[in-house]
Amino acid sequence: MMRQLALSCNEIDSYWNYTINNGKYSGMVVQEKIELSLADRLTPLQLEVINESFMHNVPEGSETHFKVTAVSQSFNGLRKVRRHQLVYEVLKDLLAGPVHALALHLFTPDEWQEGLSAPDSPKCHGGER
């Protein structure tokens, strides 16, 4: 079950504008920022954000690589490319900063009911730790 998120879009945007304009990403961790932003803009029925940075050749504790699985009525009638563009627009400030890669698995409620699911992520080809 997805947790309820109490921040409004304006509160999130105000927080991000302050932290981005001051060159800081402190306070909320990147994963929480992704979750809050997508939850507010897409009102998903299902949302899972997984930090997969540990699978890549990055420093320990990094928040650079994420797998996002979202089920939303906002995706109804949209092709996969347009769904991805929608998420990129929502997360554009994070993509310009700390987030290096997103694996997006975006479904309509009907697709999710049909049993579609996110595949396992492949091993990183960028080097071993």
Q: What is the pTM of this model?
A: 0.71
* Domain extent for 56: 9-113
What CATH code is carried by the domain that includes residue 78?
3.30.300.90
68 falls in which pLDDT band (50, 70, 90)?
A: very high
Length of the chain in terms of residues written: 129
Mean pLDDT of 85-100: 93
Q: Is residue 32 part of a domain?
A: yes
What stretches of the chain adopt beta strand conformation (E)? 46-51, 65-71, 101-107
Q: Is residue 126 part of a domain?
A: no
Q: Is residue 66 part of a domain?
A: yes
Q: Model confidence over 9-23: pLDDT tens digits?
A: 444 444 444 444 444
Q: Is residue 22 part of a domain?
A: yes
Q: Model confidence over 24-62: pLDDT tens digits?
A: 444 569 999 999 999 999 999 999 999 888 777 777 777
- Total structural domains within the chain: 1
β 65-71/101-107 pair status: parallel
Q: Is residue 45 part of a domain?
A: yes
> CA dist 19 to 53, 90, 98, 102, 104, Å?
22, 16, 12, 21, 25
Q: State the average pLDDT for the chain.
A: 78
Q: Is residue 80 part of a domain?
A: yes
